[in-house]
Structure 1
Amino acid sequence: MGEVCFVGGFGLSLRQVGVSRNDFGSRRGVRVVKWARARVEPMRMSVSGSQPGLPGHDRMKFFVSAAISVAVFATVRSAMIYQVLGRSSMNRSLAMVAAPAVPLAFLPNINHLLSFWFGEFIMWSPVAKVLSLLVVCAAFAKIGGYLFSLADQEGEVDSPFWRAIRAIVNPFEDDFATVPTRVVSCFLASIGMVFFGILVGMVTQTVEDAVNSFPNMRIPAIVSNHVVVNGWNSSAPLALSKVVADGSKVAVITNHSPDEVIAEVRDKLGSDRGGKVYVRLGNPLVKFDLERVRAMDAKTIVFLSDSSYRENPDSKDVVSKTLAFRGSSNDFKGNLVAVVNDQRDEALVESILNGTQAKSVQIVNANKLLGRYLAQVVIQRGLNSVVREMMTSESATKLDFVAAKSGKGLVGELYSNIDRYNSLSGRTILGYVDSDGQVRISAKDDFKITSATKLLVIGDGSTRRAEGISASGFSLRPTETPENVLICGWRRNMTDMLTELDETLPPKSRIVVLGLDKQLTSLPKKLSKSSITQIQGKWVVPENLEKAFNSASINKVVVLASQQGADAEDEDSDLRADANSLAGLAHIESLVQANGAEVDISAEFWDERMHDVADHFNYANVIYPYEVGSRLVAETLREPLLNQVWNELLSQYGREVTMRPVTKYLGDEKTGAYESIAKTASEDHNEIVIGYANGKSAVLNPSGTDKTANRTWSEDDIIVTLSEN
């Protein structure tokens, strides 16, 4: 090998040493490729002056540096793998130790030690990820600068460290002439692409976490005099829609996914509910989480089960929520509403909440009321349409409470002496709230009305003509002729339903229940007024239906919402169960047509979207359990005292909605005004008239000429009353 020739000193610019481009070619030992950036560097020459190359010790440095860079890359990669695998763990360092490492062949202990401490640093420091990324990038830039100084054979790299940073930040910007510098440049470019890829991922994740922190309910709701919903299930959106429509603000505390709750709110309540419904994620049992929805500043708190009745028939979570709330409710003076599914839970929850200082406590057992209500619906065609209209808060025929002092000449009068149809414009008086806070639905009572008395009314105070309620028809409540009723399916409160049906049907009626053996074992074997027959088998099977129809001359059928095909984990399970019900109803209709008898069919469906399908059939009543339950909750949230009203109207205790023939009040007359009929019903029969029906239309709380004008009535016309049966 030859000797090393230095021209102008090591690392100096050729222009700085005064060498021109023209005479530089004669100087042996220096080769200039790009004159503008040419520098004088040492070169190893052969004796002949040809073939330059790196000295042996420089080559060794190059390969050692490359090995070190690979080792650092392997260590960082190992730590990143640990971090990703341990991301969802409570102790991420344990996840890192458990993950398969990429060991260094010559420093295994240091590799694991670095990985461990790197993982701990990442977990506990908020800026650790970005800082670590910058340190690693700087380390690669330093290594890259050293590799550039070793690989540069042509004097192309004037500042190796900054050129390495340039290669990382702006890959492939420089076009080097030699293979070694190109290899180093490509290596650093790949590091740069990895660096910026990770950096973009970090920024994206940070922004996403910041955005998600808002619906994840980390920020307390700034709201007061609102409704707090403690829990969430499939019936909640419909109940809240009535509250929000009335202008109230709602704050929901739930452990359900916030995205799912918000999606349901937008789907059921509309996308314009922003600013009216606030959703916060938290444990409803924890006081700190309740403070996120300002529970103590609410006007009403409603406790809901976190699963629907079909998914979970008991209300143990409601018991837990109310018990936890009582321990931290010293400052709450508003209304409490608890929605339960089980009668035993109803008494327990009521006793728990009565231990608070709340203004009122209302327990809604929609499931119990629904079973009793079904018994009324079965025997009165069109009744469900009437009750549904009365439960609609936007309706002109809704139930409400008003102050007696707002009427004409009511204060100081006895309740039995008032004119219930004209004392309040656009409203009919149905009852009053006594001094004990109990609602009395009455036609005649010797109760003295004061200025503080609240009156139960039907109507919104407007004098516009009430719109007719459409139904497939209306029928009278049977009073003498025995009925044969077929019940297809089963529900958990079946005993309540059968008891109510037995009290409602005329004596010597017959009830046939078609269901599975394990379901029938819990039913009573004997009723007080009616006989009961149990037929085992799936009711959707045609042979079983035919057997049931042959057992008695059936004239009324009720199909309960099917549990068959229903799966609580399947979001379309309600539709699958309703599809089975429709299949069974098709078989029932074929049997009815074959027998040629007139049969009233009442059907129950889980999913409200079945409205469009059910409207095509001539069913006597179509009931939606979720809808009825949601409307009961909505009515109670709108006015807590309405819970007492509906508990009476939807059971056999006290008054209930009843269809009566108009001839009962007209006698032999054919003409008369609605107002005169209502007064006759009140004075002679202790009944409260709330409307009338003819054909397939009913009108509640008529006003104007509908109320005062004489009209000719037919024998088929019906008067809708609140009667004691």
Structure 2
Amino acid sequence: ERKKVRVLLRTGSALLREDVERVAAHQAHTLVVVNDEAVTEDDAAKEDDDSSSKITLGDDVSSPVLAKLLALRQLLPEFSGNIVAETGSQRDAHLAETFFRSTKVKRVDAVSSEQLRGRFLVQALQQPRLTSVITQLLEGNDSRAFHVMRVADLDPRAAGKSLADFDIYSNPSAIVVGYIDAVTRQTILEPNAKNLVLSADTELIVLGKPSQDIASVAQSNPTGIGKRTASNGGVKNAMRHIRRQSILICGWREYMDDMLIELDTSVAHGSQVVVVADSSYGYSMNKEELRALEKKLRNISLSITDAPPDDMQVLAKAFERQTFNRVVIMPPSIRAQTTPSTEADARSLTILAYLNCLVRGADESRGAFLSDTKPPSITVEFLNERFAALEWENAADVDNVIMPRAVAARLSAEAVRDGRLCALWNQLLSQEGREIYIRPVSSYAPALSVPDNVAISAAFQTLGRKLREASGDILIGAIETQREKGATSKRLPSTITINPAGAARNTERIWDVDDMVIVLGRS
């Protein structure tokens, strides 16, 4: 399937001069340092005739990525390309960026894979089907990928206009979602900025590969559609209300505290989180560390049970104490250096089977806890793609299936493709700035001056312009509910469309009450 990339594999160590020189690393456009297993004893003991070729690292370097970066800085003093480093924590990401400040390296982008994976899980936990949306945005299809493009390359006639007056849907195959500040170099997902006057060199963040045929494209909307007149005031209050959550997390991961802090910002005050994990899942937090974490949580009441989550009695006790509206299942040893992925996923499947017994009441002795309540939304992480590919939605009431390794790999690939996209994904997957939301199109009825329960008739790009004007949200896609024709009107699986083009973009259609829109909005 690799039609665009030629892959060459060379064994060796980034810590050794001969291996780095053998692959001509100094000539690379971009060096990518991935967060794999730690440096092995074989690497450290490898013989080399030239004593100057071996880099000695202090014991205080805990991350293998940091070790490689320090070695590369010494081995490649004249390197002037880009560096992308996949780090395990935000602290290591900051250190990676500081290592090359006084060198000739053009750009350093550090991707904190664990933090982004945790943020991805938090987002998916709150919004079923968001996993499929983000997966499409990360799969590498140009029409559904983010790009950074100069105004001169996108539409030279836009120079001199205010971004707020520019029609972000004017290009027939792309959507402008933000820009990069020319001074601070910050990524700003705000296409309604009135004080930004576009120049030929202004860098815009664009979803989709822009069409080169701009001769027939209007540069601004003469009717005024697209000008922001309200600030999120058009969406029903119910959509803006953050509800209390009762969440059960089965498992543990590295930097779990970062994920819990991120989750704390996305739920209402008074929410409860119960974590069930033991040392076999990597849980080793002492009382002092737990108290320090609890002090950082403002909205969450945290309870941790030191016990194996794949034990029926342990789960039964958790459900006896309270009901949950969200459940997360994590595999043990997410880095999986010692635990095979099939074994880790087998434990997750065991938890899923027990949850179905408890929720559905299949086990008569313990199965009545949730018989009178709505079943919880279940999110499962799998390490093995063969497990993730199964149809879990119908078999086990699973709303989200996530492959954390694939997520980390795709986020790293985005950074390699264009380092400026790191900041974009950091914002989209955090609770600051804009995030990706899936909302009923009917929730925008007041903003569009459409009475409740009345169908909305508009083309995709027309609806996008109106949503931008009324609420400031950026429409990037839709989830269309399909039904079988006939008296039963059976609902079929929904179709996710991101950045539609051609007739799907400019043809007027009826938006059903069950249809959902995908927007970049604010909470």
Contact 1:405 1:451 in 2 (8 A): yes
Q: Which residue of 1 aligns with 2:11?
A: 281
Residue by residue, what CA displacement relative to the aligned partner does 1:443-487 show, whole Å, maximum 9, x if unpaired? 311222222222211113469xxxxxxxxxxxx978344221111
Match of 2:113 among 326, 343, 366: 366
Match of 1:711 among 509, 512, 519: 509
Q: Which residue of 1 aligns with 2:302?
A: 532
Does 2:433 correspond to 1:647?
no
Instruction: Give the counterpart letter for 1:678 in structure 2.
Output: G
Match of 2:497 among 699, 704, 707: 699
Match of 1:622 among 401, 406, 409: 401
Q: Which residue of 1 aligns with 2:22?
A: 292
CA shift for structure 1 position 490: 1.0
Q: Which residue of 2 aligns with 1:632?
A: 411
Contact 1:315 1:341 in 2 (8 A): no
CA shift for structure 1 position 692: 1.3
CA distance in 1, matches of 2:397, 2:285: 29
CA shift for structure 1 position 706: 2.6
Does 2:208 correspond to 1:441?
no
Residue by residue, what CA displacement relative to the aligned partner does 1:694-713 show, whole Å, maximum 9, x if unpaired? 33222111233333333333
CA distance in 1, matches of 2:30, 2:352: 42
Instruction: Give the counterpart letter for 2:502 in structure 1.
Output: G
CA shift for structure 1 position 575: 0.8
CA distance in 2, matches of 1:507, 1:705: 45
More strand per residue: 2
Does 2:120 correspond to 1:322?
no
CA shift for structure 1 position 396: 2.5
CA distance in 2, matches of 1:288, 1:554: 56
Residue by residue, what CA displacement relative to the aligned partner does 1:1-52 show, whole Å, maximum 9, x if unpaired? xxxxxxxxxxxxxxxxxxxxxxxxxxxxxxxxxxxxxxxxxxxxxxxxxxxx
Instruction: Give the counterpart letter for 2:174 in structure 1.
Output: R
Label 1:246 to 1:461 Cα distance change in 2 as closer, same or farther (>3 A): farther
Q: Which residue of 2 aligns with 1:494?
A: 256
Q: Which residue of 2 aligns with 1:304?
A: 34
Match of 1:578 among 342, 345, 363: 345
Instruction: Give the counterpart letter for 1:610 in structure 2.
Output: F
Q: Secondary structure at the match of 2:298?
A: coil
Match of 2:277 among 507, 510, 515: 515
Contact 1:490 1:519 in 2 (8 A): no
Residue by residue, what CA displacement relative to the aligned partner does 1:639-665 show, whole Å, maximum 9, x if unpaired? 111111111111112221112221232
Q: Which residue of 2 aligns with 1:684?
A: 470
Q: Which residue of 2 aligns with 1:562?
A: 332
CA distance in 2, matches of 1:492, 1:292: 35
CA shift for structure 1 position 614: 5.3
Label 1:506 to 1:405 Cα distance change in 2 as closer, same or farther (>3 A): same
Q: Secondary structure at the match of 1:277?
A: coil
Q: Secondary structure at the match of 2:205?
A: strand
CA shift for structure 1 position 494: 1.4
Alignment of 1:11-90 (within 5 A): none
Residue by residue, what CA displacement relative to the aligned partner does 1:111-148 show, whole Å, maximum 9, x if unpaired? xxxxxxxxxxxxxxxxxxxxxxxxxxxxxxxxxxxxxx
CA distance in 1, matches of 2:245, 2:514: 20
CA shift for structure 1 position 585: 0.5
Label 1:322 to 1:657 Cα distance change in 2 as closer, same or farther (>3 A): same
Q: Which residue of 2 aligns with 1:663?
A: 442
CA distance in 2, matches of 1:659, 1:442: 18
Q: Which residue of 1 aligns with 2:484?
A: none
Q: Secondary structure at the match of 1:246?
A: coil
Residue by residue, what CA displacement relative to the aligned partner does 1:554-597 show, whole Å, maximum 9, x if unpaired? 11111112239x97356xx1110111110111100111112233
CA shift for structure 1 position 621: 0.8
Q: Secondary structure at the match of 1:613?
A: coil
Q: What's the TM-score once normalised by structure 1's chain length?
A: 0.57
Alignment of 1:166-565 (within 5 A): 245-247=3-5, 276-307=6-37, 316-394=63-141, 396-408=143-155, 409-422=157-170, 424-436=171-183, 437-445=185-193, 446-461=195-210, 479-516=241-278, 519=284, 521=286, 522-523=289-290, 524-525=293-294, 527-563=297-333
Does 2:365 correspond to 1:606?
no
Label 1:344 to 1:406 Cα distance change in 2 as closer, same or farther (>3 A): closer
Q: Secondary structure at the match of 2:71?
A: helix
CA distance in 2, matches of 1:692, 1:355: 46
Instruction: Give the counterpart letter for 1:394 in structure 2.
Output: N
Instruction: Give the counterpart letter for 2:168 in structure 1.
Output: R
Contact 2:480 2:496 in 1 (8 A): yes
- When the two structures are aligned, how many residues end up with a matched partner? 435
Label 1:331 to 1:360 Cα distance change in 2 as closer, same or farther (>3 A): same
Runs of at least 5 residues in structure 1 that lack an aligned partner in the other structure: 1-240, 248-275, 464-475
Residue by residue, what CA displacement relative to the aligned partner does 1:218-273 show, whole Å, maximum 9, x if unpaired? xxxxxxxxxxxxxxxxxxxxxxx8xx6434xxxxxxxxxxxxxxxxxxxxxxxxxx
Contact 1:670 1:713 in 2 (8 A): yes
CA distance in 1, matches of 2:77, 2:306: 54
Does 2:478 correspond to 1:720?
no
Q: Secondary structure at the match of 2:88?
A: coil
Q: What's the TM-score once normalised by structure 2's chain length?
A: 0.77
CA shift for structure 1 position 319: 1.3
Instruction: Give the counterpart letter for 2:375 in structure 1.
Output: E
Which of the two has higher C-alpha Rg?
1
CA distance in 2, matches of 1:646, 1:623: 17
Contact 1:483 1:556 in 2 (8 A): yes
Instruction: Give the counterpart letter for 2:509 in structure 1.
Output: R
CA shift for structure 1 position 532: 2.4
CA distance in 2, matches of 1:656, 1:529: 20
CA distance in 1, matches of 2:331, 2:336: 14
Q: Secondary structure at the match of 2:147?
A: strand
CA distance in 2, matches of 1:329, 1:411: 41
Contact 1:666 1:677 in 2 (8 A): no
Contact 1:606 1:624 in 2 (8 A): yes
Label 1:636 to 1:653 Cα distance change in 2 as closer, same or farther (>3 A): same
Label 1:499 to 1:682 Cα distance change in 2 as closer, same or farther (>3 A): same
CA shift for structure 1 position 367: 0.5
Contact 1:404 1:454 in 2 (8 A): yes
Label 1:246 to 1:308 Cα distance change in 2 as closer, same or farther (>3 A): farther
| Identity over aligned pairs, percent | 30
Instruction: Give the counterpart letter for 1:559 in structure 2.
Output: I
Label 1:449 to 1:590 Cα distance change in 2 as closer, same or farther (>3 A): same
Q: Which residue of 2 aligns with 1:213?
A: none
Q: Which residue of 2 aligns with 1:588?
A: 355
Instruction: Give the counterpart letter for 1:287 in structure 2.
Output: R
Contact 2:143 2:174 in 1 (8 A): no
More helix per residue: 1
Label 1:281 to 1:480 Cα distance change in 2 as closer, same or farther (>3 A): closer
Contact 2:352 2:396 in 1 (8 A): no
Contact 1:305 1:315 in 2 (8 A): no
Q: Secondary structure at the match of 1:506?
A: coil
CA distance in 2, matches of 1:567, 1:288: 30
Structure possessing the higher relative contact order (Cα contacts under 8 Å, 6 or more residues apart): 2
